[in-house]
Structure formats: C-alpha cells, structure tokens
Amino acid sequence: MSTKGAAAATDGGKSGSAGWMLSRLADWSRENSLWPATFGLACCAIEMMSTAAGRFDIARFGSELFRASPRQADLMIVSGRVALKMAPVLKEIYDQMPEPKWVIAMGDCAACGGIFNNYAIVQGVDKIVPVDMYVPGCPPRPEALIDGIIKLQERIARRHRR
C-alpha cells in the first residue's frame, strides 16, 4: 500500500535524507501501532481473541485496541471462512478502511477456502481483497498469528528500502 505523502517525500530521496527519515518515521509508527478491525468470522476468531487475551497478548506488539469501526483501523485480520453472503460485506468494510491498510488472511479458510471447497465458501479472501500476509492453520495457534503480524511489521518497515 502506498501513501501519496510518503511517496512524495521519498521521491529521489537518498537514505539518510530528511524525506527518507520522515517516511521511515511514519512507517515505524504504522508498524508499531497496527490496530485491527474486529473482523472475526468463525473459529479463527476465537483464537484471535486468545491472541488478544493475557497469555499471548497482541497488545505488546502495538495492536492495543481492536477497533469496531473500520474507519479507525488499519489492519483487517480476516479470521474465518468467508461465505457468499458475507463477501460483499467484507469488501465494503475493506473499502471503508482508510489508507494505508493491510490484510492478514488468518487461517486456511481465509487463505484458500480451507477444508470447505464448495459452493458456499469463497476460496480464499484474496479473491476479494488484496492480502498482505497469509497465516495458515486450522485454526492457527496464537503464536502463528503473532508471527504473521511481526512479519507484516517487518514488511511495512522494509517498504521504502530495496
């Protein structure tokens, strides 16, 4: 995901220049305060709740709050199977999120349809929205989800580096 402001600042900026440092600061703040939108759909949502709870504690990685309103969130963790009826709703929620935004497909159903290869389930949420990180598992362990979030954070950090 690109932001017009940061792109303009790095336009021709060399590493160490003020423009580069500003965009790097912006990236640092984004990666360390990824606020997920509450998008728990099915079983993976329960593991996502466990990830937010005390033992695994997603808050220490910056995801302090799950925002109910997509307008205030920058990360959509699609946790669960996406049914036909839910697909347009998911797209609408995604569209309502402001840039920059990222999507994690948590679980096998969100990544590829999982064990439900049939008429009712969208075979992978990447058929509807662009996905930045796939976290496989049925459901993935909370540590796996945290691994996915940390890898996403590293990806955000590397955005303007080659």
Partner 1 sequence: MVTANETMRINLGPQHPSTHGVLRLELELDGERIVSCRPVIGYLHTGIEKSMEARNWLHAIAMTDRLDYLNPLGNNLAYALAVEALFGCEIPERAVVARVLLAELTRINSHLVWVGTNAMDLGALSVFFYAFRERELLLDLFEEMSGARMMTSFIRPGGLQDDFPDGWMQRCARVLDALPPRIDEYEALLTENPLFRERTIGVGKLAADDALALGVSGPLLRASGVEHDLRKARPYCGYERFQFRVCTATAGDCYARYQVRIAELRESLSLCQQALAAMPGGPVRTSDRKVMPPLRAEFQHSMEALIHHFKHYTEGLRPPAGEAYVPVESPRGELGFYVKSDGSGRPVRVHERAPSFANLQALPSMAKGMLIADLVAIISTVDPVLGEVDR
Partner 2 sequence: MTAPDFVAGVPGAVHTVGRDGIDTVRVEPASWTELLRAAQAGGYTRFLDLTAVDEPQRAARFEVIATLHAPAAQRWLRLCASTAERLPSAVAIWPAANWYEREVYDLFGVRFDGHPDLTRILLPDDYAGHPLRRDHPLGDEPVDFTVTRETDAPW
Is 18 one of the binding residues for partner 2 (CB under 8 A)? no
Taking the complex as a whole, the smallest distance from the CB of residue 92 to partner 1 amounts, in Å, to 9
In the complex, the smallest distance separating the C-beta of residue 145 from partner 1, rounded to whole angstroms, is: 12
| CA–CA separation, 162 and 157 (whole Å) | 11
Give yes or no for a contact between 36 and 75, defined as CB atoms under 8 angstroms apart: yes
Question: Toward partner 1, which CB reaches closer, 9 or 52?
Answer: 52
6 or 145: whose CB is closer to partner 1? 145
Residues 72-111 that bind partner 2 (CB under 8 A): 84-85
Interaction partner, residue 133 (partner 1, partner 2, none; CB < 5-8 Å by kind):
none
The two beta strands, 75-79 and 36-37, are parallel
Rounded alpha-carbon distances, angstroms, from residue 80 to 27, 65, 137: 28, 20, 11
Q: Which is nearer to partner 2, 107 or 113 (CB)?
A: 113
Instruction: Tell me the two tokens of residue 81.
Output: 């199977």
User: Is residue 123 at the binding interface for partner 2, with CB under 8 A as the rule?
Assistant: yes
Q: Give 7 or 84: the residue with its C-beta nearer to partner 2.
A: 84
| Least distance between partner 2 and beta carbon 119 (Å) | 3
The answer to whether 63 touches 153, Cβ cutoff 8 Å, is no
Using CB distances below 5 to 8 A depending on partner kind, what does residue 123 bind out of partner 2, partner 1, none? Answer: partner 2
What are the residues binding partner 2 (CB under 8 A)? Answer: 84-85, 113, 117-120, 123
